[in-house]
């Protein structure tokens, strides 16, 4: 995403691509009054992150989705 992640180049590149693609898509769809939101998160408590317990800075997937859906219209 914002920085580089050693040994995770494809993952990092994918996050960066999605961020920039979302910005460009947002510009294209603005005239149709369509808002594009890209959540560029860091950690979520999952097996991939190896974080065992949810915290404020690394929420559970369920809590993250609930919070994200509060913003969605």
- 8 A C-beta contact, residue 55 and residue 64: no
Q: How many CB atoms lie within 10 A of CB 15?
A: 19
Task: Examine the residue annotation and report whether 42 is marked as an active-site residue of this protein.
Answer: no
**Catalytic residue (choose from 11, 39, 42, 66):** 11
How far the first Cα of the chain sits from its last, in Å, is: 25
Task: Examine the residue annotation and report whether 15 is marked as an active-site residue of this protein.
Answer: yes
Q: Give the torsion sign (CA, 16, 40, 2, 26).
A: positive
Q: What amino acid positions are annotated as catalytic residues? A: 11, 15
């Amino acid at each position: 995403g914002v920085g580089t992640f050693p040994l995770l180049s494809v993952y990092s590149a994918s996050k960066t691509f999605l961020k920039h693609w979302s910005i460009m898509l947002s510009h294209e769809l603005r005239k149709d009054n369509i808002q594009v939101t890209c959540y560029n998160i860091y950690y979520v408590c999952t097996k991939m992150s190896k974080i065992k317990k949810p915290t404020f800075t690394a929420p559970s997937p369920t809590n993250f989705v609930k919070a994200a859906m509060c913003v969605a219209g």
